[in-house]
Amino acid sequence: MIIIKTPQEIQKMQVAADLLVEVHRALREKIRPGVTTLELDQFVDEFIISRGGYPEQKGYEGFPYAICASVDDEICHGFPRKEALQEGQILTVDMVVNVDGYLADSAWSYAVGEISPEAQRLMEVTKECLYLGIEQAQVGNRLGDIGHAIQSHAEKNGMSVVRDFVGHGIGRKMHEAPQVLHYGKPGRGLRLQEGMVFTIEPMINLGNWQMKLDSNGWTARTVDGSLSCQYEHTLAVTKDGPIILTEQDR
Ligand code: MG
């Protein structure tokens, strides 16, 4: 069942989103060679709690950390580690912030120092995929329009879309209906209505889309070892177009 949100509920989610955006802005300044993702996790955990929020991923189905920290060929759900980040890596930090029972979810990828031109290109195309998908989040469009916009842009650039993880409705729970696929056919699937709030979070690989799970049962990485990148926003569908709750550039 899809839970349609009132403008008041969307406003409460915006409060959580504002805190989440603040965390990502602070992370931008911290991510560099020599820093560990475990330090970043601790920083995020303390930052969110000090502002009256809660890092919702911590304890979710047993996930042990405030952030997912996925490096290079890790697609998502990477565990923070004590090894230092190295020049040239790409790091995706994903987090969910809870303020007063309302949630916001956003993942962002960061370059660690200088990165290769192909890693740079992957980051650019993945971010373009996210925003092209969001453009399709219009009342009356269908979920397939979002998936198609993302898939066609990734594949046009010789990259691939991970199939195993999808966007999702969000509100008072982290995962609500509907599932938002990052691939698909235009004009297919659920019709979008005002008040739907969900994430779009394409995971794009330089090589093939297939993934394998690490022995920790969480971390997904590319089977072929190729680089993977992800950007994610939480957005609300309104009659005036999509509102990106987790937008950092405003
Ligand atoms: Mg997320």
Supply the pLDDT for residue 250: 79
- Ligand 1 center to residue 95 CA distance, Å? 5
**CA-closest candidate to residue 102, choices 172, 178, 31:** 172
State how beta strands 233-238 and 211-213 pair.
unpaired
Please write the tens of the pLDDT for every residue from 148-171: 999 999 999 999 999 999 999 999
Supply the pLDDT for residue 150: 99
- Ligand 1 center to residue 82 CA distance, Å? 22
- Ligand 1 center to residue 199 CA distance, Å? 8
The percent of residues in the chain predicted with pLDDT above 90, rounded, is 100
- Ligand 1 center to residue 87 CA distance, Å? 25
Please write the tens of the pLDDT for every residue from 183-206: 999 999 999 999 999 999 999 999
pTM for this prediction: 0.98
- Ligand 1 center to residue 215 CA distance, Å? 21
List, as ranges, residues with CB under 5 A of the ion ligand 1. 94, 105, 107, 232
- Ligand 1 center to residue 31 CA distance, Å? 19
- Ligand 1 center to residue 37 CA distance, Å? 17
What is the chain's Cα-based Rg? 17
The amino acid at 148? H
Reduce the DSSP state of residue 30 to 3 states and report it.
helix
- Ligand 1 center to residue 142 CA distance, Å? 22
Which sign, positive or negative, has the C-alpha torsion 49, 53, 57, 63? positive
Supply the pLDDT for residue 54: 98
Please write the tens of the pLDDT for every residue from 30-85: 999 999 999 999 999 999 999 999 999 999 999 999 999 999 999 999 999 999 99
147 Cβ partners below 8 Å, 6+ apart?
A: 133, 180, 181, 182, 183, 184, 185, 189
